[in-house]
Amino acid sequence: MKIIEDANREALKRMLSGDPVLVDVIPASAAIPELKQRMILHAGPPIGWDRLCGPMRGAVTGIAVFEGWAPDLEAAENLAADGAFELHPNHHFDAVGPMTGLTTISQPVMVIENRTFGNRAYCAINEGLGKVLRFGGNDEEVLDRLRWLRDVLGPAMGKALRSGDGIPLKSLIARGLTMGDEMHQRNVACSGLTLRALAPALATTTTSDDGLPEILAFVGGNDQFFLNIAMAMGKAIMDPVRDIDGSTLVTAMSRNGTDFGIRVSGTGDTWFTAPVEMPEGLYFPGFTESDANPDMGDSTIVETIGLGGFAMGAAPAVAGFVGAGAASGAAVFTRTMGEITFGENPEWTIPALDYLGVPTGIDIRLVVETGLAPTINTGIAHKEPGVGQVGAGVVRAPMSCFEQALRGFAERIGVS
Amino acid sequence: MKIIEDANREALKRMLSGDPVLVDVIPASAAIPELKQRMILHAGPPIGWDRLCGPMRGAVTGIAVFEGWAPDLEAAENLAADGAFELHPNHHFDAVGPMTGLTTISQPVMVIENRTFGNRAYCAINEGLGKVLRFGGNDEEVLDRLRWLRDVLGPAMGKALRSGDGIPLKSLIARGLTMGDEMHQRNVACSGLTLRALAPALATTTTSDDGLPEILAFVGGNDQFFLNIAMAMGKAIMDPVRDIDGSTLVTAMSRNGTDFGIRVSGTGDTWFTAPVEMPEGLYFPGFTESDANPDMGDSTIVETIGLGGFAMGAAPAVAGFVGAGAASGAAVFTRTMGEITFGENPEWTIPALDYLGVPTGIDIRLVVETGLAPTINTGIAHKEPGVGQVGAGVVRAPMSCFEQALRGFAERIGVS
């Protein structure tokens, strides 16, 4: 139908014309004025405490202690069960978060400005791998790291970014795609490029007494540092694509560890949800699939903009890490995702595929028609609270979300 | 012949067991005690002023002014013509240099220690692209940059490196190969990884008053920064492979802009030379092949250890930059070089080729037998002194060097 074609063309145009720039790091309370004490933003579609998965519960109790809402984890859990904390999706407040993805009042958030449309999106700073809050970790080591991010790294990054014009991300991603990143499970190159861009300003605005060597070591030692930037960038790019009448393109995919939810441009802010699936992947030594929590996090926003599983062909080395088969087969994932997307991104290209643009704009019609659900590269959390990351893998978005969305879309435009 | 097989096995074993570490930056005079005033080490096999190409002459006159041996370029040229400067190959003094590759008494050199064998190799610091001494540039802008490298960056890098255990390069290269570098014409990833490794120590040992922001900006802004490190690493790896009786493996390939020379393990320090060839490549805007100087530099040491043109399959994006055809065809270069090499490097692998090790140990017998000369990725200098880089391309080592070497080798082992 022409109305759908036109709407999707407009949606793709807005996606491709976005100009995301990392401009600041500020406390979440300053970024999101609605945030208040005892309010917790989480990954995925809406959910209550009673249905929260293990790592999400672990993170909620951890962040309650971090924010001073509870003296210890046990007290925090009792408070949570009593409904003392207000839970909302990050997506309802211009934010995203990886895995558990909690955003609360005193955490620092990175600010991505989409300079074409003027909107902003936010994401907390990546904590590194292993036992971290986003994978359900919540002990003192985890909370101490969050304090350091809040008191040292966040303010220093903010000062450095404000001293210049920010870091334009469109060209940085283009470069990262020539350096083996897909920006979901592999962010080595983009993390390095960010450090490179940030280091001179950091060295001008922060002294070694204020932690400069530790800051450079932390950012330089965290190969997933860029993930959270890529996610906020995805949110900043996709928010202006919401609410285009007649568009069948997906504007968000997101999981809370229990439900997977998608939003579609032509159906506004409705979440179409289904139970999350279990990733197929590789486990860190000592862990198996029986330890794993199913799929979780807002990080699927990167697949929504053509990266992650959609850009696997740029990152043959990630195929082994996520257990996706032979490295030489990585291109197959990208080509397959080309069958469910409305277009390609001519500025984000993959050298090994002779500069094919990454497949961009997931069309729910094509997903349902082909039976090909979006491929997602993801980290895997332990299913119990307090443990952390146990592996990485590949997972499919549940087909039911797309079927429901297509029915909802049909009703909305008056087709039965 | 078994004696040759055994000798080559020993040679390959020494190559693969090398453990190169970037440990220091010190003045060339401290690194190479034989260096004295008016002595100039250059790229390639031995050559006199009368046969020097244009960019090499440009660099010689520039460095003479830099070192205070002449008041200006014209005076320097007259002195050079009068034989006032003593010219020697870098290779005769444990050193290498890219393009013109001049090493003189007061320049800082990076020190690579091969911890398996205890030997050291040296290379000056990379100046960046465009109008630079290594491409024959010699004006005040060029010399000012050399002064800054000598007075600011060199000492700061040395201090930072001495404060720790150095930067191990074997694993860094392994990582760079998963990030699109081939370490000759593409060093984006390894340059970034080096900055990442160096930045925390730099921030501890150098303040912003001592130029820390400028240092971080220079290293972070120079995508070829790592080239000179890769070259000194190559020299440090190959020197212990010299003089193995009966080995037909190449220990050095090198060009002075007039002659191409190779050395072979079983024939010791003899240079087998032939006229250099003209690279086929792509030119920067405003330049054409008629501006180009033929092949030049010690940088072919990286091909000698399996990188550069031999690792093209790891770096599809470089194929376009050097005009080597479709990016998807980059793997062909690597597979072809596998036909003239004695083995593969199991620690330096290419993900897109399902972790094939880079082809390692050029065997002069295989080169002559197959008629396949080594493929080299290279920068292209303007043929006139004082201009600088005009492009990048691919060039073959002259077959005649290998034929002469094979004859020399046969005589040496008493086969006619």
The string of pLDDT tens digits covering residues A329-360 is 999 999 999 999 999 999 999 999 999 999 99
Q: Do B353 and A317 touch (CB under 8 A)?
A: no
Q: Is the dihedral of CA A95, A101, A104, A107 positive or negative?
A: negative
Chain B CB contacts of A188 below 8 Å: 175, 178-179
Q: CB within 8 A of B302, min separation 6: which ones?
A: B183, B184, B230, B231, B234, B308
Residue A123 in contact with residue A232, Cβ under 8 Å? yes
Q: Which CATH number fits domain A19-231: 3.40.50.720, 3.30.70.1230, 3.90.1710.10, 3.30.70.100?
A: 3.90.1710.10
B316 touches chain A (CB under 8 A): yes
HSE on the CB side for A400, CA within 13 Å? Answer: 9
Average pLDDT over residues A79-91: 98
Scanning every residue of chain B, which has its alpha carbon at the shortest distance from the alpha carbon of A220?
B196
Scanning every residue of chain B, which has its alpha carbon at the shortest distance from the alpha carbon of A325?
B354
pLDDT in tens, B388-402: 999 999 999 999 999
Chain A CB contacts of B189 below 8 Å: 179-180, 189, 192
Nearest CB among A216, A330, A352 relative to B328 is that of A352
What residues does each domain of chain B span? 19-231, 242-412
Q: Whole-number mean pLDDT of chain B?
A: 96
User: What is the SS3 assignment for chain B?
Assistant: CHHHHHHHHHHHHHHHHCCEEEEEEEEHHHHCCCCCCCEEEECCCCCCHHHCCHHHHHHHHHHHHHCCCCCCHHHHHHHHHCCCCEEEEHHHHCECCCCCCCECCCCEEEEEEECCCCCEEEEECCCCCCCCHHHCCCCHHHHHHHHHHHHHHHHHHHHHHHCCCCEEHHHHHHHHHCCCCCCCCCCHHHHHHHHHHHHHHHHHHCCHHHCHHHHHHHHHCCCCCCHHHHHHHHHHHHHHHCCCCCCCEEEEEEEECCEEEEEEHHHCCCCEEEECCCCEEEECCCCCHHHECCCEECCCHHHHCCCHHHHHHHCHHHHHHCCCCCHHHHHHHHHHHCCCEEEEEEEEEEHHHCCEEEEEEEEHHHHHHHCCCCEEEEEEEECCCCCCEEEEEEEECCHHHHHHHHHHHHHHCCCC
* Backbone phi and psi for residue A364, each to the nearest 5 degrees, phi listed first: -60, -30
pLDDT band at A165 (very low <50, low <70, confident <90, very high): very high
Amino acid identity of A354?
D
Q: Is the dihedral of CA A40, A43, A44, A50 positive or negative?
A: negative
Paired sense of beta strands B389-396 and B375-381, if any: antiparallel
Nearest CB among B188, B212, B353 relative to A179 is that of B188
pLDDT of residue A324 exceeding 90, the answer is no
User: Which secondary-structure segment (H or E) carries A34?
Assistant: none
Size of interface A-B (CB pairs under 8 A): 106
pLDDT in tens, A379-411: 999 999 999 999 999 999 999 999 999 999 999
pLDDT of residue A320 exceeding 90, the answer is no
Nearest CB among B195, B203, B207 relative to A196 is that of B195
Among B45, B47, B40, which Cα is nearest to B62's?
B40
Nearest CB among A195, A351, A354 relative to B196 is that of A195
pLDDT of residue A285 exceeding 90, the answer is yes
* d(C-alpha B19, C-alpha B112), whole Å: 10
CATH no., domain A242-412: 3.90.1700.10
- pLDDT, residue B1, reads 83
Amino acid identity of A28?
A
Among B195, B191, B101, B188, which Cα is nearest to B157's?
B195
B71 touches chain A (CB under 8 A): no
Chain A CB contacts of B351 below 8 Å: 180, 316-317, 319-320, 327
> Per DSSP, what are the bridge partners of residue B382?
B292
Residue B21 in contact with residue B115, Cβ under 8 Å? yes
* d(C-alpha B94, C-alpha B332), whole Å: 33
Q: Sheet with A389-396: list strands edge to edge.
A: A280-283, A389-396, A375-381
Scanning every residue of chain A, which has its alpha carbon at the shortest distance from the alpha carbon of B202?
A213
B18 touches chain A (CB under 8 A): no
pLDDT of residue A276 exceeding 90, the answer is yes
CA distance B314 to chain A (A): 9
pLDDT in tens, A242-273: 999 999 999 999 999 999 999 999 999 999 99
- pLDDT, residue A40, reads 98
Residue A102 in contact with residue A259, Cβ under 8 Å? no
pLDDT in tens, B83-137: 999 999 999 999 999 999 999 999 999 999 999 999 999 999 999 988 899 999 9
pLDDT band at A131 (very low <50, low <70, confident <90, very high): confident
- pLDDT, residue B416, reads 63
The answer to whether ipTM exceeds 0.90 is yes
**Do the domains A242-412 and A19-231 match in fold?**
no
Q: Do B320 and A354 touch (CB under 8 A)?
A: no
The tokens of B329 are what? Answer: 């065809």
- pLDDT, residue A191, reads 98
A174 touches chain B (CB under 8 A): no
